Structure 1
Amino acid sequence: MKNRYAHGSRVSEKKIREIVRYFAADLTATQATQLSGLNRNTVNRFYRALRERILLACEAQRPMFGIIEVDESFFGARRVKGKRGRGAYGKTTVFGVFERDGKVYTEIVPDCSKPTLQGIIRGRVDPASVINTDGWRGYNGLVDLGYGHFRVDHSKDEFARGRVHINGIEGFWGLAKLRLAKFKGLPKHTFHLHLKETEWRYNHRNLNKYKILLSYLRENPLS
């Protein structure tokens, strides 16, 4: 009988469902290997395949609308002494777009310049939206693009002014860093997959992740 999840695989559908269940529960590949009895390389292959399908699902996400919060964050080694500011030395820069009471979108960026950040905003945020930011100059000119724009000035210890704040995206950064810390360091070539997985888990926090992941494999089986 043809395997619905992995064409030509020697791993049974039952065993694949078991691995998907462990992944959905956010167990590490080491834990899944111990519980399933499968070879570690086999588990790694399935975990990577699931993350690649999650990446595709995240990139296909609809544009965000309503009240939007945007912010950048930095992931990786501790800040090098003497190096300050956005794009801190040795760290990976990630830009986030947060739909108030909705979903989040993340993207690794080369810098925090106005063209970089606003290029992503224009591609990911509906023009009728209202955007909340901090005081970074990279957000200057959003009104000229047609967006409503409100700021909080962190440099003056201002973190909220009524409904004007970026607490949602900042809260997501905290959750993301806490989750990714369990991997005790991620190679640069796989960081983007783990980042998008974290985004996906947040966006599907109230849904059955196991069933959604199985549907991804049925639609796009391993080959």
Structure 2
Amino acid sequence: MKNKYLKGAHLSERKFKEILRLFAEDLTATQIANISGVSRVTVNSYLKKIRQQIARHCEALQPLESGHRSQAVRNVHHSTEETAVKTDAGRNIRPVVFGIYRSFDRLHTEILPDVSRSMIHSVIRSNRSVLETQNVAERIRRFSNVADLGQYRLYNLENDGAIAVADDVDAFWGLTKHRLAKFKGLNRSTVYLHLKECEFRYNNRNEDIYETLLELLKEQPLSLS
């Protein structure tokens, strides 16, 4: 079936565009399945493909200086681990921490698998010695903020940060908290994709998300293989 946005599709282009429009409106997979008449399993499969393409797009826009990310970070979204990201009640679960920084007019995010809650608190207390011994000081200094998804807390690492940047980050964090909270717990295998989706939606907040996605998928079609 011919579909210029999805290679090897068993779904018409018209139906796929309907799903894409509903995704752009930020509906859940269940809502999209009910409205489109496509099974939830199929919808979930397509949404994962869309989010993977969004993540690749966001990665391509990251400044070159962030290209030294560790293999552990690059593999976060390829993980098959199904442990849910829990709130503070599950303290035995290592929290998912990510950094936020601004480059020109865009915000970028990076999951920090080797940064713990205690390290964040050390930064807040200006106790750099702990960080220096664990070789993460330089990496953390690149970020204006870090967020702990286990507690849904945002930490400011720049006491003298510009108000415009702070307002930008606060607006992004508000969007991210709202979007991730509605899932009532995320699998670690999908956290990265949802985070990059939040990044994409925020950076394109003044654009028509549906049209932006159409253009992206026209240039870089999805593949079911």
TM-score exceeds 0.5 = yes
> CA offsets, 1:135-184, max 9 Å, x none?
xxxxxxxxxxxxxxx941xxxxxxx6875974432442232112111111
More helix by share: 2
Evaluate the alpha carbon distance shift between residue 52 and residue 33 of structure 1 in structure 2; reply closer, same or farther with a 3 A threshold.
same
Structure with more relative contact order (C-alpha pairs < 8 Å, separation 6 or more): 2
State how far apart, in whole Å, the 2-side matches of 1:169 and 1:201 are.
Answer: 14
What TM-score do you get using the length of structure 2 for normalisation? 0.67
- Which residue in 1 is equivalent to 2:203? 203
* Aligned-pair identity (%): 38
Whether the aligned pair in 1 keeps the contact of 2:100 and 2:107 (CA below 8 Å) is: yes
Match among 105, 109, 113 for residue 110 of structure 1 = 113
Uncovered stretches (5+) of structure 2, i.e. residues with no partner: 65-83, 116-130, 147-156
The aligned residue for residue 78 of structure 1 is 87
The residue type paired with residue 181 of structure 1 is A
8 A Cα contact 1:54 1:196, kept in partner: yes
Q: Which runs of 5+ in 1 are unaligned?
A: 65-74, 123-130, 135-149, 153-159
Measured on the aligned residues, the alpha-carbon RMSD in Å equals 3.3
Task: Indicate the larger mover: 29-38 or 107-116.
Answer: 107-116
Q: Secondary structure at the match of 1:4?
A: coil
- Do the aligned residues in 2 keep the contact of 1:20 with 1:210 (CA within 8 Å)? yes
CA distance in 1 between counterparts of 2:221 and 2:164 reads 42
TM (norm. structure 1) is: 0.67
Q: What's the CA shift string for 1:61-103, capped at 9, x where partnerless?
A: 1539xxxxxxxxxx9433259x7xxxx9642111111347x22
Deviation at 1:211, TM superposition (A): 1.6
2:54/2:196 contact within 8 Å kept? yes
Structure of greater Rg: 1
2:202, 2:46 → 1: CA distance?
A: 21
- The alignment of Structure 1 onto Structure 2 pairs a total of residues equal to 178
SS state of the match for residue 22, structure 2? helix
